[in-house]
Chain A
Amino acid sequence: MHSESVVNDFVVKFANVNGSGSASANHLFAKAVFRSGVPVSPRNIFPSNIQGLPTWYEVRVSEKGYTGRRGGADIVVAMNAQTFFDDVNEVESGGYLIYDSTKPTDVGVLRDDVTFLGIPLMDICLHEFGNITQRHLFKNIVYVGALCALLNMELGIFKNLIKEQFKGKEKLVKPNEKALDIGFQYAHDQLGGPIDFRVERRDLLSNKILMEGNDALGLGAVYGGATVVGWYPITPSTSVVEAFSKYADQFRVDEGTGEQLFSIVQAEDELSAIGMAIGANWSGARAFTATSGPGISLMSEFLGLAYFAEIPLVLFNIQRGGPSTGLPTRTQQSDVVSCAFASHGDTKQILLFPSSPTECFEFSAQSFDLADRLQTPVIVLSDLDLGMNDWCCDELQWDDSREFDRGKVLDAAGLDAVENWGRYRDVDSDGICYRTYPGAHSSKGAYFTRGTSHDSDARYTESGAAYVENVERLLRKYETSKKYIPKPIIDYTEGKKTSYGIIYYGSTEPALRESLDELLEGDLPLNALRIRSFPLHAEVYEFIEQHKTIFVVEQNRDAQMRQLIISQQNVDMSKLVPILHFDGTPITERFISNAIKDYLDPKVMPFSLGQGKRAI
C-alpha cells in the first residue's frame, strides 16, 4: 500500500466487452480528467469485431504532461468476465481492482497486493432502471460515478459533461445523472470514499484540446479547400472521411441554396477511390482519399500514374499493423518504405509524418498546397494510435490571411500570355512545369495526360533520351520539394554535451519526449531529431554526422526509416542503432528508455547493429 496518495500520476484501465456501450462512459471519465485541468491520454484497444470481444480503454493521468502509453495499470475496472483473471494480473502492485460483485466471488485470494473494490452493478441497475437496455448501459455510468468518488474528483464536472453530451436530448440527462449519483454514493458510503490515487484540479490545459488525429485531418482538409473525396471504408482511416463529412456539413453547405460545396463518394474499392481523387485533382479541384493497410497496396498502380503524369493528390494513410490483413485494429509505422516508393518503376513519393492532432490539422491543410505546388501525390502517414485516440494537444490555429497555393497553373489569360506552352517543359529549371485544367481556354492548353512515357509536350514517345530527360527532371522536382515540405525539428539538450542522438517520427513523439526526460534524469542526455517529411533534408545527415551513435526509434520490424536514411545518402550505417517496437500496441517510454539503457550497459549482451532492440 502507498503511504500517501498519488496525485495526478497513474493509469486507469477499463476492461469491457465491445458493443456494450462502455466507450462513451469511459470517454466521459477521460474528459472529466481533462476538465480538471490535468493532462490525460485515453487509448482505446479494440478488436476487429462489432460485438462480444474484449476491449480495453486505458486512461493515463499525468500532471507532467506525459501522454504516451505508460503500460501497466494502477486501477483496473474489470467488467469483462472473459478477461477477468488477466485483468487482475495487470494491476500494478499497490493498485486497485473494481469489479461487479453482484455474484458473490472470493476475488480477494487472487492477489494480496491489490485492493479489490466490489460494486454490485448488475443488482443496482436491476433495481434502479426499468428497461433492459438502460440496465446494461447505465452499469457503465455507475462505475464512472464510483470512480469520481474514489479519485476524489468533482461530480459537477461529470454532470456538466452529461448535460453537454445530451443537449437537445434532455430526456437522457436525468437517468444519466441518476446513474452517476448512485455510483458516487455507493463508493462514498460502502467503499470508504477516496483511495490512494487522486485527481487534483490544476490549470495546465489552458491552450490544449482533446482531439483525435483523424478528426484533425478531416478538418484540415476542409480548411485546405478539398472538395472531392473518393474513399472505401477501412479501419483505422474511415473516421478521416467521417470527420471531413461532419465539418463539411457544418461549413460547406450554401446557406441560400442548400447546395453542397463538396462531394463525397464511397467507391467500390480503393482503386476507384484513388482514381476519383486523381481525376478531380487533374481537373483542378482539391481532392483526397484516405486508406489503411491493404488499401495502400491496392492504390499503388494509381500512385505511379499520379507520380509519372504529375497529378496532385493527397492521400491519408492511417497505418495499422502487419502485412496482409495483419492487425487491423492495432497500430504500427510499417508502411514507410512501401509508401516512399509506392508503385513499380522508379517512383518516389512525398511523405509527411504528423506527430499530434495539431500537426495532423496543419499538415492536412498544407498537403493540398504541397500537392498542387509539386504536382505529385503527397502521402500523409498517420497511424491508428494517433488517428483514433483522443490526444491532449495544442489548440488549432488558422491565419485568415493565408491563401491556397495552387502552384503553377495557367488559366486562359496565362495561356494567352505565354508562347509555346508545353505541359512538361521545365521553364523555371526547378523541375516543376505549368499545367492547365480541362476547358481552360478555347484553343490553347489542351494536352493528353498519360502514364506512358511522354516528351515535354506530353506526346507519347518511346525514345530513351526523352525518357531519361523526363525522369531526371522528376528528380530535380523531388529535390525542389525539400524547400516546401516540413523540416525536421531538432532538440539539443540544454547545457549538456552528448555524443548520442535519437531520430524518430510520428506518433512516437509523446513516449519519446518522456523517455528523453527519464534518461536525462539518469544522467544520459540525448539530442533528438524528429523527421517530419520525406525526402529527407540535409539537416538529418548533419545531425547523424554530429553524433557517435544515433538511436532510430520506430514502430515496425524492419527499421524502415533507417532504411530510408541509408538509401538516400552516404552515411555510416553502423552508427544507426534501431530501436523497434512492433507488437501492435503504442510504443512506451519504458520500452525506449530500457532499450537505450540496455544498449549502453556493458553488462547486457551487446546487441548486434542492424538487429537492435525489438519488442517481445
Chain B
Amino acid sequence: MSYMKKPQFRHPHIVENDIGFTRRDYEGGMSTLCAGCGHDSISSAIMQAVFELSIEPHRIVKLSGIGCSSKTPTYFLGKSHGFNSVHGRMPSIATGANLANKDLFYLGVSGDGDSASIGLGQFAHVIRRRLNMLYIIENNGAYGLTKGQSSATADVGSRSKKGETNIYNPIDVVSLAIDMGATFVARSFSGDKEQLVPLIKAGLMHPGFAFIDCLSPCVTFNDHVGSTKSYDFIREHNRAVNKTDFIPMKNEITANYPEGATEVIRSHDGSELRLQKLESEYNPVNRAAALDQVVRARQSGTVLTGLFYVDTEANDLHSVLNTSSKPLNQLNKNQLCPESDKLKSINESLR
C-alpha cells in the first residue's frame, strides 16, 4: 500500500496544502439536499478541515447511516472510501472497519434520528468501546428524509411544521457522550464555520472517540417559529464556552493569545489545542464539570456550544485489546494460519 502522492501540475493561483492537494481534491459529488440545509455547511466545513490538516483523502474513511445527513458523505471527500450503511448501525460498521485497519482516519456522519432513536444503542456502545473516530451528529431535531417527524432530540414544547407540539423529553447526545466516556465532546452549529472547522480538525486528530453534536437546521421541515432547532432560535440562544484553535504538531505557533484566558492542551503527538476561554471559570478537562455545565445550560434554555470535554490521556479500542501494530487486514497467511503440526497436536489432545 502506498500513501505517496504523485506531484501534479497546478495553476499557480490555486492554493495547495502542505502535501500539494488543492481544495478540489477534497470535494465530492453535487449535493442533492435542499438549498440552505445545514448539512451542506457541515460538509463544506469537513472539506476545509481535512484540507487544512493536509490529510491525503484516501486515508479518510467516511461512514454513515441513513437519512439526509447520512447521505452527505457522497458530497465531500470523493477520493475517500465511503460506506453508507443501514439506519442507525453505522457505529458497528465503523468498529469493524477500524478493527481491520487502524491506520486510517474514521469519520462517521449521522443524524439525530439515526443516532438518538434507532441507533441509540450503537451510539452509546461505540463510545464505551473508545473507537478511534470522529462521530458527527448533524442534529436538526427532526427526521428530514421521512418528511419532518419530530426526532428524539426535539425539545419539549418545540413545534413541528405541521403544528404538533413535542411532548417527549429530549435525549441530549452531548451529556450522553460525556457520560459514556467519550474523550472529546463538543457541540457546534452548522452556521458557525469559524467554530466548527477547528473542532473537526481537533476531533479527527484526537486519538480516541471524538464527538461533535452539530446543530444543523432543516430548512424544509424544522426552521419555523416555534422550533428550537431553527437558525433564528439557535443564533439567539447560542452561548459558546470557548473558542478552539487546533495546531498540528508540525506547525509553529504563531497566533497570539491573551495571557490567562487561554488554555493550552497538549497531546502526546505534540499537537496543541488552544482554547480561548469565553466563560472564565470553565475548564474542559474535568468530566464531571463538563456534564454539570451542559446540564445547567439545558435547564436554562441556552444552546451551549464549544469544546466541553477533552481527555489528553485518551486511548482507543486497539490499545485496550492489544491488537497488532500492523493492521489486521495486512497480515498474511504465514502470520495467521498455524502449521499442520499444530493441528496434529490438537488431534492428539482430542483422543
Cα–Cα, bound, A227→B327 (Å)? 10
Q: Which chain A residues border B343 with CB–CB below 8 Å?
A: 223, 396-398
Min C-beta distance of B138 to chain A, whole Å:
18
Cβ–Cβ < 8 Å partners of A222 in chain B: 336-338
Task: State A452–B73 Cα separation when bound (angstroms).
Answer: 14
Q: Which of A225, A439, A446, A448 has the most CB of B within 10 A?
A: A439
Q: Given A258-B322, A396-B343, A400-B340, are A210 and B129 also a contact pair (CB < 8 Å)?
A: no
Q: Is the CB of A272 within 8 A of B100?
A: no
Residues of A within 8 A of B333 (CB): 225, 403-404
Which residue of A is nearest B328, CB measured? A227
Q: Roughly how many angstroms separate A287 CA and B329 CA in the complex, as a whole number?
A: 10
Q: Which residues of B contact A273 (CB under 8 A)?
A: 92
A286 to B269, CA, bound (A): 31
Which residue from B84, B95, B346 sits with its C-beta under 8 Å from A451?
B84
Contact (Cβ within 8 A) B5 A305: no
Q: A399 with B2: in contact, given A259-B325, A268-B122, A452-B84 (CB under 8 Å)? A: no
Judge whether A261 and B335 touch: CB under 8 Å: yes
Known: A272-B89, A301-B86, A398-B340. A230 touches B95 (CB 8 A): yes
Contact A449 B83 (CB under 8 A): yes
Q: Find A282's partner among B4, B97, B339 (CB 8 Å cutoff).
A: B97
Contact at A279–B81, with CB atoms within 8 Å?
no
B96 within 8 A of A: yes
Alpha-carbon gap, A181 to B350, bound state (A): 25
**In the complex, A395→B4 CA distance in Å?**
49
Kindly list chain B residues whose C-beta atoms are within 8 Å of the C-beta of A275.
Answer: 85, 89, 91-93, 95-96, 122
Q: Name A30-60 residues within 8 Å CB distance of B.
A: 34-35
By the criterion CB–CB under 8 Å, are B101 and A443 in contact? no
Q: How far is the CB of B135 from chain A (nearest CB, A)?
A: 14
Binds A, one of B56-64, B165-173, B214-222, B277-285: B56-64
Contact among B91, B100, B335 with A228 in the assembled complex (CB-CB below 8 Å): B100
Asked if residues B351 and A267 are in contact (CB atoms below 8 Å), the reply is no
B81: contacting residue among A223, A254, A446, A451, CB under 8 A: A446
- Using CB atoms, name the residue of chain A closest to B84: A450
Q: Is A209's beta carbon under 8 Å from chain B?
A: yes
- 1/0 per residue, CB under 8 A from B, across A430-473: the answer is 00000011111111001111111000000010000000000000
Task: Please tell me if B125 contacts chain A, counting CB pairs below 8 Å.
Answer: yes
Interface set, chain B 308-351, CB cutoff 8 A to A: 317-318, 321-325, 327-329, 331, 333, 335-340, 342-343, 346-347, 350-351
- Residues of chain B lying within 8 A (CB to CB) of residue A124: none
* Docked complex Cα distance between A257 and B337 (Å): 18
Contact across chains for B97 and A280 when beta carbons are under 8 A apart? yes
Partner of B58, one of A34, A224, A262, A443: A443
**Interface pair A438/B2, CB less than 8 Å apart:** no
Identity of the chain B residue whose Cβ is nearest the Cβ of A280 in the assembled complex: B96
Q: Say yes or no: is A490 at the interface (Cβ < 8 Å to chain B).
A: no
List B contacts of A404 (CB < 8 A). Answer: 333, 337
Are A271 and B92 within 8 A (Cβ)? yes
Does B253 interact with chain A (Cβ within 8 Å)? no
- CB atoms of B84 and A449 under 8 A apart: yes
Over the window 281-296 of chain A, the binary record of Cβ atoms lying under 8 Å from chain B Cβ atoms (1 yes, 0 no) is 1111101000000000
Residues of A contacting B325 with CB < 8 Å? 257, 259
Q: Are A439 and B338 in contact (CB under 8 A)?
A: no
Q: State in angstroms the CA–CA spacing of A179 and B95 once bound together.
A: 51
- Whole-angstrom CA separation of A209 from B4 in the bound complex: 52
Q: How many residues of A contact B (CB 8 A)?
A: 76
Output the residue of B56, B58, B59 with the most chain A CB within 10 A.
Answer: B58
Q: A271 to B95, Cβ gap below 8 A?
A: no
Note all chain A residues with C-beta closer than 8 A to B98: 279
For chain B, which range describes its interface: under 10, 10 to 19, 20 to 34, or 35 or more residues? 35 or more
A276 and B99 in contact (CB under 8 A), knowing A268-B121, A269-B121? yes
The reply on A6 being an interface residue by CB < 8 A is: no
| Bitwise interface map of A from 387 to 420 toward B, beta carbon under 8 Å scored 1, else 0 | 0000000011111100110000001100000000
**Given contacts A278-B93, A282-B93, is CB(A446)–CB(B84) below 8 Å?**
no
Q: State whether the Cβ of A611 lies closer than 8 Å to any Cβ in chain B.
A: no
Is A205 interfacial (CB-CB < 8 Å)?
A: yes
Distance in angstroms between the alpha carbons of A302 and B56 in the assembled complex: 30
Q: In the assembly, what is the distance between CA of A208 and CA of B324, in Å? A: 36
- State whether B329 touches A285 (Cβ < 8 A): yes
State whether A277 and B96 are in contact (beta carbons under 8 Å apart), knowing that A254-B324, A260-B323 are contacts in the complex. Answer: yes
B75 to chain A, nearest CB (A): 11
Instruction: Give which listed residue, B96, B129, B321, contacts A260 with CB less than 8 A.
Output: B321
Q: Which of A223, A279, A442 contacts B2 (CB 8 A)?
A: A442
Query: If the complex has contacts A228-B99, A411-B1, A441-B58, are A460 and B342 also in contact, measured as CB distance less than 8 A?
Result: no
B103 interface hit (Cβ, 8 Å)? yes
Give, as a whole number of angstroms, the nearest-CB distance from B3 to chain A: 6
Query: Is the pair A210, B351 in contact by a Cβ cutoff of 8 Å?
Result: yes
A279-B100 contact, Cβ under 8 Å, with A258-B322, A305-B85: yes
On whether the beta carbons of B122 and A279 are closer than 8 Å, the reply is: no
B6 within 8 A of A: yes
B262 sits at the interface (CB 8 A): no
**Quick one: which of A279, A395, A397 has the most chain B CB within 10 A?**
A279
Q: Is the CB of B329 within 8 A of A271?
A: no
Measured between beta carbons, the chain A residues less than 8 angstroms from B193 are none
Contact in complex: A397, B340 (CB < 8 Å):
yes
B82 near A399 with CB under 8 A, answer: no
Top 10 nearest A-B pairs (CB, nearest first) are A279-B96, A275-B92, A285-B100, A283-B100, A438-B81, A280-B96, A284-B329, A279-B93, A209-B350, A276-B96
Give 22 CB contacts A-B under 8 Å. Answer: A228-B99, A265-B99, A267-B125, A268-B121, A272-B91, A275-B93, A275-B122, A279-B96, A280-B96, A282-B93, A283-B61, A283-B97, A283-B100, A285-B100, A302-B89, A395-B350, A397-B340, A398-B343, A441-B2, A442-B4, A446-B82, A448-B81
